[in-house]
Structure 1
Amino acid sequence: MLEGRDLSFGYAGTSLFEQLSLAVPPRTIVGLTGRSGRGKSSLGRILAGHLRPSSGTVVIDGQPRKCGALDSVQYLHQTPIFAFNPRWRIERILSEAWPCDADTRRSLEIPDALLRRYPHELSGGELQRVAVLRALAPGVRYLIADEITAALDPITQARLWRVLQERVADGLGILAISHDRALLQRIAGTVRAL
């Protein structure tokens, strides 16, 4: 289980949340919604190890997170272009993470021709599918999905979530962060507001 226990965090003297606890069990999608500026993305980054909380603890499968350690949590953001080296072709970007299998690539509709392109040559939907593929490396048990389908058309959005729901059935736990409460009610077992 991925847990945030009694987490507090803020910027420049402004508190975003205090004593917040949240758990993401395996085989579950937990939805997190709320107005802009309430700390949803900050909470996701804390759980993924990208930010330190002011107080509290992040626990992964019963063990406290070690700062800077590689672990089983991946963070996906709304704008995936910033997560890619612009000088690398997609094939190299993916191979750095794991030797992606053809079945997973096909399920995410990533054709071979796309692998030879650079990130700036892909559409937003193609980039997001590549980001998801990279994050689904073996050993990843938890995914923080921060508005990952907000900029996608409804059909692409549904296809991407279908692939992720299949991974949830296989054991993945997901924290789905979104302003779209209707989407979260369709995909998540529980929805929490921040």
Structure 2
Amino acid sequence: MNTMTTNQEKHEVIVVKQTPADAVYWRLLAVALDPGRETPELYGLIREGQSDVPLMVDGRILLFAERGRADELLRRHGRLVGDEVVDVERPFFVCDVAQALHLLSVGGLDSDSAVLSAVNVLLDLVVATGVPFDERRRQALGSIADYCTTSYDVTRYLEEEGDYSSRELLDAVLWCVGVVAAMARIV
């Protein structure tokens, strides 16, 4: 850390190694299913680039229960290319299914962006499986994701502004969870 002093004030300057804007990262995904647990049940690895793609093994999404296995599984099943950056110390992507389902059921303020994060991750995971996406479900998830990009008030979407009902949104999220579960290899 470097320090710089100007006009009697001391400011800290943190020097950060810069990576190119187009750098590709392997990031840790955390999947929370049970609202009663403090930690996620499952983890995965996502290659973040032009599109976000999970680590796949034999056409299935690789998920694991022990966060500490991320490096080992990436070395064993991943294909690191060039200057890809591995960042798996803590979850970067979070798919809190339990919280998203709760908010889509009863509304509320989503100050942690649980709905947006869960929907975006689920969309990426389903696309990676190759299972055809029902257009109505895709549109419902896209609509709530677009809304949650600019607002935390899920209640307002459900009661006033949204084009899709709570029931349709819950159906779409649960359908995605089912596809991901059916197309996962859990180790």
* TM bracket, shorter-chain basis: under 0.3
TM-score with structure 1 setting the length: 0.27
Does 1 or 2 have the higher relative contact order (CA < 8 Å, sep 6+)?
1
